[in-house]
Structure 1
Amino acid sequence: MPLVVVGISVLVLLLLMTRLKLNGFAALLLVAVGVAVVQGIPVKEIPDVLSEGIGGQIGDTMLTIGLGAMVGRVMGDSGAAQRIADTLLDAFGPRWVQVAMVVTSMLIGVTMFYEVAFIIIVPIAFTLVRVTGANLLWVGLPMSIALSTMHSFLPPHPGPTAVAATFHASVGLTLFYGLFIAVPVGALIALLWPRLPFIKAMNPAIPQGLVSERVFDDEEMPGLGWSVFVALFPVVLIAGAAVTDMATSDESPFLHSVAFIGSAPIALLLTLLLAIWAFGPRIGRSLSEVSASCSSAVKAMAMILLVIGAGGAFKNVLVEGGVSDYIKDVTDSWSISAIVLAWLIAAILRVALGSATVAVVTASGVVLPLLAGSGAHAEMTVLAVSCGSIAFSHVNDPGFWLFKEYFNLSVIQAIKVRTTYTTVLSVLGLGGVLAAEWALDLLNL
């Protein structure tokens, strides 16, 4: 039974990494090979399956994470990140630093992928931790939770947008309704979770090499205008492309150019070039100093990228092994509410495969034939699938490893923190969707 294989593989992976202390990259690849053999993938095809999984995952994330880490380190070594952090502290005060992170993350996360926004904001979180002496999770966890909520619940992020197209739902209405659910639910969990005793007991250190350890005097730091401009530059490019895409369906060279400039890798590459000049020669730092900052960031990212790539290999083995097809066949005959079924299938696929994108696409294919006769609003069903796809993030989710490595957690600690918050977000999101569906029916909308 495929789900039993998934469960056993996760337990074996945890054993290798916690009891035997095997490196995460090696452990993930070893378990992926074992699962491929058990699932009946021909031995001669296993190397290609692993390579496709690593290549697909690294191809999606390497440019984003690598360029974002360079931008963050250049800003950190010049004092720009500290300038923004000090300004947030002045505006909100140390007591409300979590609110500052939630507001910032939600505004940026509406249009930016989780990984992109995470890489851009995390240097500011690290700097706030260093300046205030607060626990890393106290500052960083609200940021991650807010970004997870925006990325998973709302278009124009890829999962919800793809489901909206499948269900012929209005992207604009989906975003409108989704904001009323995502903002309160995300803010509640973001502010509550760091206060839980089992979270407060953890006190991880900032990973070395990802942020400058120097504390700058006021006159040494760049101005707030340039610091904020560079930090928001990729946000404006990516958000502009997303809004343009939502607002028009025309095909023209101009729109293609906007989409090109607004793609995450190009936006971050342009931001890096801007940061090199703005926080290098413009303020009297040599290009060799700025280049050293970029090199330091790349060295610190090497193992993180390897582990994320291996997570992609593990995910691809599960997909190629037919786990998603098995779940689709099992759930075809279930007779329950279309909204609950949509959420449940997406959640099961998320647990089994780790990929939120695969979960939402497969779940939408199962639910689509039921949608016409169910009476459910298409937009609410889109949100139900999207909420389900965030549940139970664990070791087969490459995003889990990004979270674990940046917050310097053990595997067990990451499960306690990330798996729990993503599951509660998903369940509360479903509750919000059901309440919104009831309200729309009551109002005859």
Structure 2
Amino acid sequence: MVVLHAAIAIAVVIVLILALRVDPVIALVAGSLYLGLASGLGFAKTITTIAQGFGDIMTEVGLLIGFGVLLGSLLHAMGALHSVVEKLLRTLGPGKLPYALAVALSTIFPSIYVDVQLVLAAPLARSAAPHLGRNGLATMGGALTTGILVGYVFVVPGLGTVAIAGLLHVPLGTMLLYGFVIAPVTALLTMLVYRRLLKRGFWNADKDESDPPAEPAGQTGAEPNAQPRLSVSLLPIVVPLVLIATGAITEAAGVKSDVLAFVGDPVFALFAGLVGAYALARRSLGRERVAETMTSGFGSTGQILLVTGVGGSLGAVIGETDLDDVLSGLFSADAGVHAVLTVLLVWLVAAVLHFAIGSIAVAGIAAAGILAPIMGGLGIPPEVLALAIGSGALFALQLNSNFFWMFQTLLGVTTRGALKALTFVTSLASLVSLVLVMGLVSVV
């Protein structure tokens, strides 16, 4: 019966979000309440478990998400992304720009929230598109899709990555190392396949492109005279990544050092990046502009923390039922399920949730919450499980996502064009990364 109740709970979450447009926080808590009560935990135990699950995940990733959102907000205000795209166009020329942009967005800028990245990069993509020929807008749209969303699910401190890793108790240093391999390879392979399809007539400018939208006011980041040098403005994100990677490498090498462990801790590393970005922004933008930016970042942080926390609540409730034993028997190697098939099943769980719910983050968090209690019996490393969930959550971003309509409007494409440059490209990137993760599980 517990499997039936779990299925009903997940269906309740999906219906509330998709059909009734209920906020994901309310939907996830409602699903957790139903599962706890229907599974016989009782009223007091259900509420206690929900609260404890929320607190546990906040202990794991709360500060990381908060620091990451604020850091991204300050980078946005200083115009760092705008500067990178302009420099790439000048240095590489239009031919290599889509690949370079996809890799840069997926590895350097995941700290900036996906909606903000889109608002910043869409005007730059449109201005660069005429230099790429008749499929220029399609190509740049695919580059934005690939770079922004692949980084979101695979690379620290992308919020999807941090939330999934936190729920599965994967060290962020380990996640960073894996992400820096999977993300750029996924981005490059996706763009290679996509551009080949474009050359074979996949895109029809007459039907897939609309009139270009007006430039959004006030969305291009810092004024030109307020921008610090690019090499300086990127330090707040580069330094934390180097610190986290150093900590992970030295730990894996068996080096024992309290100092290295301290500076390589993700909480300290992101805090150091935040302090650096704050100092740069105060100098280049002024105190009032920085205060406005921080206030906006605090608003975004609250929503993201709540969704992540209630994802932890759902996982905690599942952990208190017998569902973990049932699912563990289904997925485990003892049940005759090969590791590669396990990765495929994990990917499928996240993909179905995303297709139904329309939110990459919520799908990833829900999938991680469902699978976290049983990951010890899956027979694959938790970091590979996290990558499989991220890969599945990326699949087929479509019309039930607000990002879809933002993409269509800001890039200047029709709904049909967005289905090609966004929905199809996320599906392609998801499948490419699935193959990579399947290959990875065979060697780790």
Bucket of the pairwise TM-score, normalised by the shorter protein: 0.5 to 0.7
Question: What does residue 45 of structure 1 align with?
Answer: 45
Distance 1:88 1:264, change over 3 A: farther
CA displacement 1:1-59 (0-9 Å, x = unmatched): 44433333232222212322222211221121011112222221111111122222333
Aligned to 1:91: 91
1:249 aligns with 2:254: yes
SS at match of 1:143: helix
Task: Tell me what 1:148 maps to.
Answer: 153
Q: What code does the residue aligned with 1:233 have?
A: V
User: Once superposed, what is the RMSD of the aligned Cα atoms?
Assistant: 4.9
Unaligned runs of at least 5 residues, structure 2? 127-136, 354-364, 408-417
Amino acid at match of 1:222: P
The equivalent residue for 1:278 is: 280
1:145–1:421 contact (8 Å) kept in structure 2:
no
Confirm or deny: 8 A CA contact 1:53 1:309 kept in the other structure.
yes
| Cα distance in 1 for residues equivalent to 2:10 and 2:151 | 27
Alpha-carbon deviation of 1:68? 1.9
Partner residue in 2 for 1:221: 227
Structure 2 residue 180 is the aligned partner of structure 1 residue 188: no
CA contact (8 A) 1:364 1:385 kept: no
Shift of 1:106: 5.8
Deviations 1:153-197 (A, max 9, x none): x9xx969x9999xxxxxx9xx97xx95x87645533466679899
Q: TM-score, normalised by structure 2?
A: 0.66
Contact 1:346 1:360 in 2 (8 A): no
3-state SS in 1 of match to 2:13 = helix
Indicate the residue corresponding to 1:295 in structure 2.
295
Q: Distance in 2 between matches of 1:362 and 1:193?
A: 36
Tell me if structure 2 keeps the 8 A contact 1:230–1:274: yes
**What is the rounded CA distance, in whole Å, between the counterparts of 2:426 and 2:170 in structure 1?**
24
Structure 1 equivalent of residue 436 of structure 2: 429
Q: Distance in 2 between matches of 1:70 and 1:333?
A: 42
What residue in structure 2 maps to residue 104 of structure 1? 104
**Partner of residue 119, structure 1:** 111
Secondary structure of the corresponding residue to residue 118 of structure 1? coil
Same amino acid, percent of matched pairs: 19
Check the 8 A contact 1:54/1:309 in 2, yes or no: yes
Decide whether the 8 Å contact of 2:57 with 2:309 is kept in 1.
Answer: yes
Is 1:267 aligned with 2:293? Answer: no
1:323 aligns with 2:335: no
Change (3 A) 1:406 1:302: farther
Separation (CA, whole Å) in 1 of partners of 2:385 and 2:277: 39
State the SS of the aligned residue for 1:270.
Answer: helix
How many pairs were matched up?
Answer: 382
Residue 313 (str. 1) matches residue 305 (str. 2): no
Closer/same/farther in 2, CA of residues 221 and 306 from structure 1, 3 Å limit: same
Q: Are residues 1:131 and 2:124 paired?
A: yes
1:317-370 residue CA offsets vs partner (Å, 9 max, x unmatched): 2232232211223456856474445536755886899454984884554549xx
1:240 aligns with one of 246, 257, 280: 246
* Alignment CA distance shift 1:362-1:98 (3 Å): farther
Unaligned runs of 5+ in 1: 109-116, 165-170, 369-380, 441-445
* 1:109-152: CA deviation from partner (whole Å, max 9, x where unpaired): xxxxxxxx622485555422243347877514433225635679
- Corresponding position of 1:377: none
Relative to structure 1, the CA distance from residue 335 to residue 11 in structure 2 (aligned partners, 3 Å threshold; closer, same or farther) is closer
- The answer to whether residue 49 in structure 2 is matched with residue 20 in structure 1 is no
TM-score after normalising by structure 1: 0.66
Contact 1:145 1:189 in 2 (8 A): no
Distance in structure 2 (CA, Å) of the matches to 1:68 and 1:346: 27
CA distance in 2 between counterparts of 1:306 and 1:72 reads 19
Residue of structure 2 aligned with 1:230, choices 221, 226, 236: 236
Contact 1:102–1:142, Cα closer than 8 Å, also in 2: yes
Q: Counterpart amino acid of 2:149? A: S
Residue equivalent to 2:393: 393
Deviations 1:214-258 (A, max 9, x none): 465543422122112233122222122222222x314333xxx22
Q: 1:295 to 1:432 in 2, by over 3 A?
A: same
Output the amino acid matched with 2:111.
I
